Chain A
Amino acid sequence: MNDLIIIFTTTLMYSTPLIFVSLGGVMSEKSGIINIGLEGMMTLGAFVASWIALTTGNPWLGFLSGGFAGLLLASLHALASIYWGANQVVSGMAMNFLGGGISIFLCRIFFEGASMTPPLDLALKIPLIFNQYATVYLSFITTLIIWFIFKFTKLGLRIISAGEHPKAAISAGVKVNFYRTFGVLASGFLAGLGGGSLSIVIVSNFRPTLISGQGFIALAALIFGKWNPVGSMLACLFFGFSQALVVYIGGLENVQISSQLLSALPYVLTLVVLVSFMGKSTAPSALGQ
């Protein structure tokens, strides 16, 4: 029973940042804009969150600032993709270089040349509720909100129309560019929150290797979840679960498996699952146009 609780808790711990970022991907791609720059936005969010949390002593303020930092970077992507006809994949790639570069650059400027921030005081971390970090609940609530938006609100339908049939949407009077901008900015905000939920909640500082691939894995979860908020969340939970298995099996005393091979497990599992369950693509039809 105790083992199950450990696996359960570790699953949630690994999944939470991914869920935020993956939901960000949903917001952007539903509106028709590819966002391959989630990784960069997440990195910037992770740095700014820990920087602000350190300087103000308020983790919630740090967490929110992380979101706004991601949003700021996303505004460049929005400008390029929506208003200047950019190649969205290339612009997204630029966001990854910018996000990573700006984060470590600022870190060195503000922390006397160090590439990682000093650790956050334990007393100043985001509180635990029923033994889980508050951000865990927040990620599920956000999933619900986004699901609700797409299912029941005008806003959601208009975002979908911008992603499926922008021309039809325009002729029906929908301000496609507005909704696309909204989608991309929301995606940056959520990716930033995802970074913050990693840097100031799970670990207690920012360092250059903190975000190494999670943004892309969240992107994978988005596609695996068929561009659906709940599906993406489940995909993230699956990935978090396989990470938890690695931690759990690695901690067992009577099992002798190379820790390196074990670490590869989540990626192999994801690949196998992708191959077995990849059905017809259900991407928004005007994605990338």
Chain B
Amino acid sequence: MTAHAAGASRSLFSVAGLTTRYGAIDAVRAVDLEVGQGEIVAVLGPNGAGKSTILHSIMGLVRPAAGTIVFDGRDITALDTEGTVRLGVGLVPERRRLFKNLSVRDNLRLGAAARRGRGDKAADEQLLFELFPILRERMDQLAGFLSGGEAQQLAIARAIMGAPRLLLLDEPSLGLAPILVEAVFNLIQGLRGRGYTILIVEQNAYQVLEFADRAYILRNGRIAMQGTAQELREEDSLFSAYLGLGGSQPACDTAGAPAPGR
């Protein structure tokens, strides 16, 4: 597998030789990946392939055993979680991890703590209400009372309030009904035109390949395949095998999907 960063205008973020262990087990082995400025890159793979471990290693939530992580020309391998976030790497964690006993407003306020003066806060708030109109109505409700779809919107909105230069999304479709999955993916697509750079980790491969630029297929902690989304879509059967899906599965057709946020 050769490094292949087609369409990457400028490398914003790269991981080289990343190995992370949990005890004696290598959760992730010698992973290389790259994300260019403005790209949407996906890491796809079955459950337990090590996808979340990659994100946790990037965020400093676990210490990698080997490898380097570079963000915007700076080695952040050993940087702690808070420092990484402050530099502009935002994570929408798996299962959202909202502050359920806090209001929607307070969740967003804490999200904004990461921005350290980056960007235009008022403009981001405006964008949020455009993308997530429902949140405006829920501002003073406790986050714990939101529905699954609203909660996922808040999780993404909270990360956006931190003005991330790189947004990491960990299984945003997890636990959502199919129609909400589509809405969430539409939202993520909606971010593309607004200068966000995104690294998304998903099990839901077919739908993500509809909008991602490039993807890496992860299996047993190693990168098994990589390419542009189009290449991978064309090699459908091959990557199905890697994903352990056992043959072809009807690709979800998102052509007639409703407009984002509506």
On whether the two chains bind one another, the answer is: no
